[in-house]
Each structure stands twice: as C-alpha cells, then as structure tokens.
Amino acid sequence: MSTEHDAPPPGEEGVTRRTWLAGALMGAGLLASYGTLAFQFLSFLLPKRLKGETRLLFVGPVDRFALGSVQTIMDLKGNEILVRRNGSDFQAFSSVCPHLGCRVQWMPGEGRFFCPCHRGVFDADGKAISGPPADAGQRLADAPLVVDKDNGVVYLEVEVPNRKGGRA
Ligand code: FES
C-alpha cells in the first residue's frame, strides 16, 4: 500500500527512471563485455577440433616421400607447410620462422631448417638450435598430419575457411 510518503518528491520521478535506465544499460554493457570475454576464453580452451570444421587435405602416398626428405605443400589458406618423413613417421611444420616471420628452408645436406633472414637454424624436429630463434627458445609451429598407414596415404588436417575467409 503506497502513501504520500512512498512517492518520490515532485520532479524526482524522472531522476529515478533515468537512474534505473542507466543502471540497466550499464548492466547490459557489462554482461556483453564479460560474455565476450568468457566466449574468447572458452574458445582458447576448447580443442581446435571443436572450434571449426576441419577436413583432410590429400598430401600424397607415403612412398612419394623418400626417407629423410622434406616436401613443401600449401594448405587451403595458401600457407606453406613443410612435410618431413622420418622413417615411418611424418612431421609437418609451418615454413614461417617464429622469430620475425621469414620463410625457413630445408637444407638436405645438413638435415636442418635454415632461416636466411637472421641465420636461424632449426633441427629436423623443428626446434631452434642457433640464432635469434634459439635464443628465444622457439620452434617451428607444428601442422597436424594424419597418416593412414593401412592405405599408405598422408593427409594434412586443415580448417575449412568459410565464405568470409574465416573459420567455418
Ligand atoms: S626471421 Fe628467422 S631468424 Fe629472424
């Protein structure tokens, strides 16, 4: 039951409504901000497989790779991937140097990757062993390979770009 004492003094009704509206807008803004932050955090935690659609990109038959060889392929986004055969195992790395982004090259005679920009050297497993990348404890980024040993085929797992060029 309301009395005259419960009603706001004349002229302060608008202030009360404005205060409530400002509070609601601030609450909505905070909710949107924290919601976005929570989404980004969960996206970071979720395995890559759950984030976007992936496909297997045919790389080639296993016997196309000589032991110890490295071949360069392109993923669906045009990134160079270096695929190395090590016995019956395969490894794949991004060709982008983690130091400042130059392209590394495979040096077959030395069994190492070399970055010509600042003379960075990486071992066959992609770990930096000399130059600025080694000083920073860096390594070449791994690329996900799938080897179908039953059928003798090597695939690269790639994210499928959506129509806007992002993730599916
Ligand atoms: S960019 Fe490769 S060593 Fe600097």
pLDDT of residue 168: 44
Sheet order of strands, 54-61 included: 54-61, 153-159, 145-148
Please identify, by atom number, the ligand 1 atom nearest to the C-alpha of residue 132: 3
Place of tokens 């000589």: 66
Mean pLDDT of the chain, nearest integer? 84
Q: Give me the residues paired with residue 103 across strands.
A: 96
Q: Does domain 52-159 have CATH number 1.10.10.10?
A: no
pLDDT of residue 21: 79
Domain boundaries, the chain: 1-45, 52-159
What is the tens place of the pLDDT at every residue in 14-49? 567 778 778 888 877 777 767 666 666 666 566 555
pTM of the model as a whole = 0.65
* Ligand 1 pocket mutation, candidates 94, 96, 99, criterion most atoms within 8 A of CB: 99
User: What is the dihedral sign for C-alpha 44, 46, 48, 52?
Assistant: negative
Please identify, by atom number, the ligand 1 atom nearest to the C-alpha of residue 100: 1
Compute, in angstroms, the gap from residue 70 CA to the centroid of ligand 1: 20
What is the tens place of the pLDDT at every residue in 50-92? 567 889 999 999 999 999 899 999 988 899 999 999 888 899 9
Choice between 106 and 166, residue whose per-residue pLDDT is larger: 106
Residues touching ligand 1 (Cβ under 6 Å) are: 97, 99-100, 102, 115, 117-118, 120, 131-133
Percent of the chain with pLDDT strictly greater than 70: 75
